[in-house]
A and B are shown apart, each in its own frame.
Chain A
């Protein structure tokens, strides 16, 4: 068990609906990442938080996607007006504070989104 949890594990929605995913990182990890992974591909970076600040956002991320980490702990990823092309596994990873000697990402189990 890596300690990063994601909810829900599976989500089926109809095109045009909004969905929200949650990620709970390992306690005290101040760095948090969201990725998207489609079949046959590796994880594709979406966005990065350090504490509550969103410091990096992929240019591939359309304005239908938004992520938050309001208190620097859990994070949410919302997709508005879902499209079939949004069907993918959404992964969350966390990393300990810089300087603690471990620049290792710990991944959660992912949320599998299916848009009908």
Chain B
């Protein structure tokens, strides 16, 4: 069965610090990869996604993620965080071209101190 691991459960940063959140998945085949964000009191929303092509994917609000196939990883990065980035971040996986089922990680709560 597929699984998604997010090893950082809670991250605290000061504004302007750089961010990297880890995501590893276990699945032997080709996958689609996603990062979702949930701001306090809001719905889950898509931050960025990778299907194929350039392994460095840019998303909204200055976020980017890099797919490293050999490491089964899809880490999320942002060079300089803002207080408004305080949220919970979820990594998700689906089998390529198969959107019947998605697997989510347990999430990382990011707290950015002003």
Interface residue count on the B side (C-beta < 8 Å): 21
Contact residues in A for B4 (Cβ distance below 8 Å): 42
Interchain CB contact under 8 A, A95 and B99: yes
Interchain CB contact under 8 A, A56 and B101: yes
Which of these, A42, A44, A98, A107, contacts B99 with CB under 8 Å? A98
Distance of A15 from chain B, by nearest CB (Å): 27
**A41 and B101 alpha carbons, distance in the complex (Å):** 17
Distance of A60 from chain B, by nearest CB (Å): 10
Say yes or no: is B45 at the interface (Cβ < 8 Å to chain A): yes
Q: A45-B103, A56-B101 are in contact. List 16 more A-B contacts (CB 8 A).
A: A2-B43, A33-B102, A40-B106, A42-B4, A42-B105, A43-B44, A43-B90, A45-B104, A48-B100, A50-B100, A55-B100, A91-B44, A93-B44, A103-B32, A104-B46, A110-B43
Q: A: which residues have CB within 8 A of B?
A: 2, 4, 31, 33, 35, 40-45, 48, 50, 55-56, 58, 91, 93, 95, 98, 103-110
Q: B: which residues have CB within 8 A of A?
A: 4, 6, 9, 32, 43-46, 49, 51, 90, 92, 99-107
